[in-house]
Amino acid sequence: MKSPNAFSALLDIYISPSKAFNGVEHAKGWSWLAFIAISLVSMASIYIFYSTVDMQFLINEQFAAASVDATIGEQKMIRQSIEQNAGIQVWISMISIVLGTAIIAAIMAVYYMLIAKLDPESEHSYGAWYGFTIWTIMPNIVLNLGTVALVLSASTDQISQTAVFNFDSINQLVVGLEPGSAFYTLLESLKLSSLWGIGLGMVGLKCWTNFSTNKALLFSALPTLVIFGIWAIIAAM
């Protein structure tokens, strides 16, 4: 079975991802709708956060995170830079999230295209794999809707940027390391939404190739395993 149209695929990717990937495989333009949806929800969550948060509180939080190992002179430069850019942070963040999504998808599309060559029957183009990657990023919509819910339900405007944008991180859910810890940034970057994306990648590879479940899972998880494995080794040094 496959999704009959792009709007159905936007729902199916969460409740029946194989239907979404089967529908997307030979469809034209569906992935642009997914990319627009991700971008709009991401930008909306950023705008709502910056429209709500106490800016001085946010500046202090960002300064504390950025100046952990800085000298007094460096601390002055860091605070000055943060304060100077405070007024345009929201626009920088919105542009960065859209460009970042596009760039990550471009890189991962190359990876998937190369991996797919291990299946002699796979003949999908780079553009198809680019669209494929966009659909594996769809958990970001749920993540950003969660951020919006946390911001709007907060009882104060002194809202932690890390707490609301990384609420599904392994660090916040399980470990609880403080800033400055060697593994803090790593575990804040490892999120349930990322693991969800790996699962979607596995399902998509099974739909688009003749890979077994184990092989599809391995190839979907491999970039994350390599990146976080190297990161962990560096952090432990």
Helix, strand or coil for residue 234? helix
Residue 13, both tokens:
């990717």
Q: What is the pLDDT of residues 109-156, one digit of tens each?
A: 999 999 999 998 888 999 999 999 999 999 999 999 999 999 999 989
CA distance 30 to 230: 35
| pLDDT-wise least confident of 47-51, 70-74, 181-185, 229-233 | 70-74
What is the identity of the amino acid at 120?
A: P
* Angle, in degrees to the nearest 10, between helices 6-15 and 17-24: 150
Return the H-helix or E-strand segment holding 225: helix 213-236
120 exposed, middle or buried (CB, 10 Å; 0-12, 13-18, 19+)? exposed
DSSP-derived letter for residue 119 is S
Residue burial 41-79, b: 16+ Cβ < 10 Å; e: rest: bbbebbebbbeebeeeebbebbbeebbeeeeeeeeeebb
- Share of residues in the chain with pLDDT > 90 (%): 71
Residue 230, both tokens:
């190297």
* Angle, in degrees to the nearest 10, between helices 192-208 and 213-236: 150
Other CB atoms within 10 A of residue 91 CB: 13
Which positions ≥6 away from 151 have C-beta within 8 Å? 45, 48, 49, 52, 53, 159, 164
Q: What is the pLDDT of residues 17-30, one digit of tens each?
A: 999 999 999 888 89
Q: What is the pLDDT of residues 56-108, one digit of tens each?
A: 898 888 887 776 666 777 777 878 888 888 788 899 999 999 999 999 999 99
Q: Which residue has the tokens 């919509």?
A: 141
